[in-house]
A = this chain, B = another copy of it.
Amino acid sequence: MEAISINKFKGNAMRNRCQWRKRLKGRGYRLTISREAIINALRSTDKHLSAEDIYLTLHSKYPEIGLTTIYRTLELLDQMGIISKFDFGDSRARYELSGDYGNKAHHHHLICTNCLKIIDYTDFIDDELELLNKTQKELSGKYNFDITGHLIRFYGLCDECKEEKNT
């Protein structure tokens, strides 16, 4: 019984590894320990990690992985469209697995301008999609642009920071 479920896990992990290996290989890249670890770090959180966040997260288990490798891998994954790079205004890039690869639904961000807390929201995605399609069609025609992506976000004061201001 236990053996079975362990094998299942092993099987899943293996299948996973093979998938990633294939994806990278398609572009002439290799799936290394470092890259796998970085991908897994991003897969196992819903936070928006910076390069240094990832470095620190991995450092106890993989002390060999240097910051440079993190930067290089993030660049690679970004190029491949596997992760998305964001600037939330704290002068460092932050990343999350994008659409197909992540475990989060399509979402946008709600950002506190005071403490930089980030909330992923998924409301009105349908209404939004309608507007986006409409806009996108108009814009691509008018300006002869091939539109490949969009960014929507709201800024404001979060729950806690709002209260702080009243104190």
Contact = CB atoms under 8 A, between A and B. Distances in A.
B143 A121 contact: yes
Contact of A146 (B134, B146, B150, B162): B162
A113 interface: yes
A146 B156 contact: yes
A19 interface: no
Interface stretch (A21-29, A31-39, A51-59, A122-130): A122-130
Question: How many residues of A sit at the interface, in one of the four size bands?
Answer: 35 or more
Nearest to A128: B131
A138 interface: yes
A156 B152 contact: no
Interface of A: 87, 89, 110, 112-113, 119, 121, 123-124, 127-128, 131, 134-136, 138-140, 142-159, 162
